Amino acid sequence: MTDRLVIRRATLEDYQGVMDIGDIYEGRDYLPAMYEKYIKWFNCRVAEKNGEIVGFNGERLVDGGMTLCTVAARVKEAYQGQGVLAAILKDIYEFYQDKESVKYEAIATGNVNMGVNGDKIRRRFTQILQMVHVEIIGEVTDFKPNTMESDETKVQELTSEDLKEIFQSKDSCSRLFPGERIVPNWYPYRLLPENIPLMIDGSKFWGTKCSDQSKYTTLTVTEFYNLRERIVLKICVYGNDIIDIKRHFVKHIQNLRHLIKLRTCSLIMIQLIHSLDCQDAKTILSVFEKCGLTINSDFPTNTLFIFEREIK
Ligand SMILES: CC(C)(COP(=O)(O)OP(=O)(O)OC[C@H]1O[C@@H](n2cnc3c(N)ncnc32)[C@H](O)[C@@H]1OP(=O)(O)O)[C@@H](O)C(=O)NCCC(=O)NCCS
């Protein structure tokens, strides 16, 4: 089937064709809201069969050109399991085959895809990180952020310079970031200053320092967008100081209150990823419950896996 496929660059005009690939992530797909940005940030490709778009994938080089990071893979249900993604990936590998800087390929995926393609992925890639993915939901009308007492003023938005300082400290890197990767927007980056301009376009970074200001104790990364009637806030959290993490969450809840005022939305969805143990996670998630939101226990994608392989 692959020889009848045409692989070409995706354009803004392909929006509807790409959306017609179907509803993935059970109505939680970010691509409808982020398509324009993805076309800007990534080299996106579509797979076409007789003029019908049946597959999509984005990629870009990160880590100063060392790592090929592929994102947003999707194939129409009727064509899945027939080599469509493999054909897009082949086109990408051919494109980069003469580029000597490229040494690795990295992907991030969830447990749902792992259930289908896990064996194949594990055959080719090595897992470097696994994080818990939690979904917190609620109606805007039930959201009561004012009930939170807080000292979230200690949470500061980080600049590129702050991130550079963190990445240059071996202690901060090994203490904060498991697997020595940071995963803004669910994509893995090495802790290299070259990645900062890529990461900061689209995500915000927040930090708190310990009382003597000598080191960062917690770092969070946020991103938000509107998805139909929902406002979606993504939060990735690093560190294990529970009090500090709670402060971050209160800050993000207060920010969310302002965002809601500016936008028309009736539902809140917070997508959170973390590496905390069960008990700590339970404690910090109670912050969201206190302001009227609910932890969605039916959320099917509850694990984020990061894989990497060396490109020979
Ligand atoms: C995941 C999905 C895109 C795979 O597409 P497909 O055309 O069915 O896949 P193929 O038939 O080409 O076979 C899977 C191949 O892609 C690889 N693969 C699977 N998921 C991958 C991913 N997210 N990134 C890179 N490679 C992936 C597998 O290792 C396998 O490689 P192989 O050539 O060594 O066998 C498709 O099943 C899909 O759209 N699923 C729903 C959306 C989804 O879960 N997307 C993943 C987002 S991370």
> Which residues have a Cβ under 8 Å from the Cβ of 277 and sit 6 or more positions away?
none
Is residue 3's pLDDT more than 80?
no
What would the mean pLDDT of 270-287 be, rounded to a whole number? 92
What would the mean pLDDT of 240-254 be, rounded to a whole number? 93
Q: How far is the CA of 113 from the centre of ligand 1 (A)?
A: 8
Task: Render pLDDT for 57-68 as a digit per residue (tens, 0 to 9).
Answer: 999 999 999 999
Q: Indicate if 208 and 253 belong to the same structural domain.
A: yes
Q: How far is the CA of 86 from the centre of ligand 1 (A)?
A: 7
Name the band, by pLDDT with cuts 50, 70 and 90, for residue 125: very high
Write down how long the chain is.
312
Query: Ligand 1 atom 35: the closest Cα is on which residue?
Result: 120
Task: Render pLDDT for 196-240 as a digit per residue (tens, 0 to 9).
Answer: 999 999 999 999 998 888 899 999 999 999 988 999 999 999 999
Task: Render pLDDT for 159-179 as a digit per residue (tens, 0 to 9).
Answer: 999 999 999 999 999 999 999
Q: How far is the CA of 58 from the centre of ligand 1 (A)?
A: 13
What would the mean pLDDT of 306-311 be, rounded to a whole number? 96
Q: How far is the CA of 73 from the centre of ligand 1 (A)?
A: 7
Closest approach atom of ligand 1 to CA 77? 39
Q: What is the pLDDT of residue 148?
A: 66
Is residue 2's pLDDT more than 50?
no
Position 109 in a domain: no
Q: What is the pLDDT of residue 261?
A: 84
Q: Which of 102, 121, 152 is the last residue of a domain?
A: 102
Position 75 in a domain: yes
Position 113 in a domain: no
Task: Render pLDDT for 74-102 as a digit per residue (tens, 0 to 9).
Answer: 999 999 999 999 999 999 999 999 999 99
| Residues whose beta carbon lies within 6 Å of some atom of ligand 1 | 24, 70, 73-75, 80-86, 107, 109, 112-113, 116-117, 120-121, 124
Number of domains in the chain: 2
The enclosing domain of 274 has a CATH number of 3.40.630
Name the band, by pLDDT with cuts 50, 70 and 90, for residue 150: low
Q: Which of 81, 102, 123 is the last residue of a domain?
A: 102
Closest approach atom of ligand 1 to CA 80? 8
Q: Indicate if 194 and 288 belong to the same structural domain.
A: yes
Average pLDDT across the chain, whole number: 93
Is residue 104's pLDDT more than 80?
yes
- How many angstroms separate the most distant Cα atoms in the chain? 64
Q: Indicate if 78 and 138 belong to the same structural domain.
A: no
Question: Ligand 1 pocket test: which of 113, 114, 125, 187 has the largest number of ligand atoms within 8 Å of its C-beta?
Answer: 113
Q: What is the pLDDT of residue 228?
A: 87
Name the band, by pLDDT with cuts 50, 70 and 90, for residue 300: confident
The enclosing domain of 33 has a CATH number of 3.40.630.30
Of all residues in the chain, the percent with pLDDT exceeding 90 is 83
Q: 139 vs 299, which has greater pLDDT?
A: 139
Q: What is the pLDDT of residue 75?
A: 97
Name the band, by pLDDT with cuts 50, 70 and 90, for residue 149: low
Domain encompassing residue 78: 2-102
Q: Indicate if 84 and 217 belong to the same structural domain.
A: no
Query: Ligand 1 atom 27: the closest Cα is on which residue?
Result: 121
pTM of the model: 0.93
Q: What is the pLDDT of residue 140?
A: 95
